[in-house]
C-alpha cells in the first residue's frame, strides 16, 4: 500500500450546528458568555479541527491523494484502497454501513471527550501509524458483523455494534415472541438488545451482558427490564432473558406491538416493525477490516 487512493470520512462537530447565528438564542448566549456548561463542546470542537488539520497535513506531506467527506452522497468507499475516519466510534459506525472489504484506519479526533474504542490513534500519533500502515506493518482485525432481516427481507448485513428492538415509544411496553433453538416464549419488556462481539462492550454490557472476544462471530442478546406476562390467573415471567447466539444459529423476534422499531448501531439508522413482523438476527456476517484495533503500542 505504497500510494493508496484514500477516502477520509470525518464527523461534523456538534458545535458547528450550535455557533451563534444558528443556535437558539439561549444556547448562543451560553457560548458567548463562556458558560462552563458548554466548555466540553467547545473543547471537543477545537480538538477535532486540530485533528483534521494534522491528518490533512500528514497526507499532503506524503503527496497522498485523498477525498474528504462528511456524508458519502453516492461515494463508494470500496472504490478506494483505504478509508480513514476522523472522529470517534460513532464516525466508524456511520462509515461501516457502507464499507465492504476496504481497510479502515480510525483516528480519535478528541481523546479527552471521546473514548474511541474502535480508533487506532489520536491525531498526534497519526503520522507514525500511517507510515506503518503504508509499509504493510499493520494487519487489520476482522470484526464480524450482524445480519438482520425483517419478514425474510434483508435490512442490513453490516451491523457492527448492536441492534435495539423496542416499541416506538420508549415509555411503552414492548410485546413480542422470542424464539431461540426451538424454544418459543411470549415476553413483555422494555425491548431487546442484540450485539456483536465488537459491540459487547457497549450498551448490552450496561444491560448485564458479557464482553466477547473481538473477532468472534457469536452474538449475544439481553432483554431490557423483563416484565410479567399474562394476567392474574396465568402470571409468569420470561425465562430466556439473555444468552449467546452461536454461528449458524438465528434469534427470532415476532412483534406483538402494533408499532415497534429496530435501531441499528445507534439512533440514526432505524426501521419500522409492524404487528406480526418477524425480525431475525444472525452473526458472522462479512467483517469490517479495522486497522490498529486493540493495539497497545499505538499512540
pLDDT for res 41: 86
Q: How confident is the model at residue 285 (pLDDT cuts 50, 70, 90)?
A: very high
Same domain (yes/no): 151, 276: yes
Same domain (yes/no): 119, 246: no
Mean pLDDT computed over 78-100: 97
What are the two backbone dihedrals, phi and then psi, of residue 129, each rounded to the nearest 5 degrees? Answer: -65, -40
Mean pLDDT computed over 4-18: 89
Instruction: Give the span between the Cα atoms of 259 and 91, in whole angstroms.
Output: 29
pLDDT above 90 covers a percentage of the chain that reads 78
Burial 106-123 (b: 16+ CB within 10 A, else e): bbbbbbebbebbbbbbbb
Query: Of 138, 154, 186, which closes a domain?
Result: 138
pLDDT, one tens digit per residue, over 117-150 is 999 999 999 999 999 999 999 999 999 999 999 9
Same domain (yes/no): 17, 134: yes
pLDDT for res 9: 98
pLDDT for res 104: 98
Q: How confident is the model at residue 24 (pLDDT cuts 50, 70, 90)?
A: low
Residue 277 forms part of a structural domain: yes
pLDDT for res 299: 55
- Which CATH number characterizes residue 90's domain? 3.40.50.10330
Expressed as residue numbers, the domain containing 264 is 145-285
pTM over 0.85: yes
Instruction: Give the span between the Cα atoms of 5 and 2, in whole angstroms.
Output: 10
Structural domains of the chain, count: 2
User: Half-sphere exposure of 70 toward its Cβ, with a 13 Å CA cutoff?
Assistant: 5
Burial 243-265 (b: 16+ CB within 10 A, else e): ebbeeeeebebbbbbeebbbbbb
Residue 250 forms part of a structural domain: yes
Query: Of 81, 109, 138, which closes a domain?
Result: 138
pLDDT for res 1: 67
Closest CA to 91 of 101, 81, 79, 99: 99
Region of poorest pLDDT, from 15-19, 153-157, 188-192, 277-281: 15-19
Closest CA to 118 of 191, 19, 252, 214: 214
Residue 107 forms part of a structural domain: yes
Same domain (yes/no): 157, 126: no
Mean pLDDT computed over 233-258: 93
Same domain (yes/no): 230, 253: yes
Same domain (yes/no): 115, 174: no
- Beta partners for 179? 184, 252
Same domain (yes/no): 53, 123: yes
pLDDT for res 161: 97
Q: How confident is the model at residue 29 (pLDDT cuts 50, 70, 90)?
A: confident
Residue 22 forms part of a structural domain: yes
Mean pLDDT computed over 259-279: 97
pLDDT for res 230: 79
- Which CATH number characterizes residue 250's domain? 2.60.200.30
Same domain (yes/no): 194, 112: no
pLDDT above 70 covers a percentage of the chain that reads 94
Residue 290 forms part of a structural domain: no
Q: How confident is the model at residue 270 (pLDDT cuts 50, 70, 90)?
A: very high
Same domain (yes/no): 50, 154: no
pLDDT, one tens digit per residue, over 173-229 is 999 999 999 999 999 999 999 999 999 999 999 999 999 998 899 999 999 999 988
Same domain (yes/no): 131, 210: no
Query: Of 82, 114, 138, which closes a domain?
Result: 138
pLDDT beyond 70 at 23: no
Same domain (yes/no): 182, 241: yes
Burial 34-59 (b: 16+ CB within 10 A, else e): eeeebeebbebbebbeebbebbeebb
pLDDT beyond 80 at 295: no
Residue 257 forms part of a structural domain: yes
Residue 214 forms part of a structural domain: yes
Residue 169 forms part of a structural domain: yes
Same domain (yes/no): 109, 159: no
Amino acid at each position: 500500500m505504497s500510494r493508496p487512493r484514500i477516502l477520509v470520512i470525518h464527523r461534523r462537530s456538534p458545535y458547528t450546528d450550535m455557533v451563534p447565528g444558528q443556535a437558539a438564542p439561549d444556547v448562543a448566549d451560553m457560548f458567548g458568555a463562556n458558560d462552563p456548561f458548554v466548555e466540553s463542546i467547545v473543547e471537543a470542537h477545537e480538538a477535532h479541527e486540530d485533528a483534521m488539520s494534522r491528518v490533512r497535513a500528514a497526507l499532503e506531506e506524503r503527496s497522498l491523494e485523498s477525498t474528504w467527506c462528511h456524508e458519502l452522497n453516492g461515494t463508494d468507499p470500496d472504490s478506494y484502497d483505504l478509508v480513514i475516519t476522523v472522529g470517534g466510534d460513532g464516525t466508524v459506525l456511520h462509515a461501516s454501513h457502507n464499507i465492504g472489504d476496504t481497510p479502515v484506519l480510525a483516528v480519535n479526533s478528541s481523546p479527552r471527550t471521546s473514548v474511541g474504542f474502535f480508533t487506532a490513534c489520536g491525531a498526534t500519533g497519526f503520522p507514525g501509524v500511517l507510515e506503518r500502515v503504508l509499509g504493510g506493518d499493520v494487519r487489520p482485525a476482522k470484526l464480524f458483523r450482524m445480519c438482520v432481516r425483517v419478514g425474510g427481507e434483508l435490512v442490513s448485513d453490516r451491523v457492527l455494534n448492536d441492534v435495539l428492538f423496542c416499541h416506538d415509544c420508549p415509555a411503552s411496553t414492548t410485546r413480542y415472541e422470542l424464539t431461540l433453538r426451538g424454544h418459543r416464549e411470549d415476553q413483555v419488556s422494555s425491548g431487546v438488545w442484540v450485539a456483536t462481539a465488537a459491540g459487547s462492550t457497549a450498551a448490552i454490557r450496561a444491560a448485564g451482558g458479557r464482553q466477547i472476544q473481538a473477532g468472534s462471530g457469536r452474538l449475544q442478546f439481553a432483554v431490557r427490564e423483563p416484565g410479567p406476562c399474562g394476567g392474574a390467573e396465568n402470571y409468569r415471567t420470561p425465562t430466556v432473558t439473555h444468552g449467546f447466539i452461536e454461528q449458524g444459529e438465528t434469534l427470532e423476534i415476532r412483534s406483538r406491538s402494533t408499532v415497534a422499531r429496530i435501531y441499528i448501531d445507534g439512533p440514526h439508522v432505524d426501521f419500522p416493525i409492524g404487528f406480526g413482523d418477524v425480525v431475525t438476527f444472525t452473526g458472522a456476517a462479512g467483517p469490517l477490516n479495522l486497522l490498529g484495533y486493540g493495539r497497545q503500542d499505538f499512540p
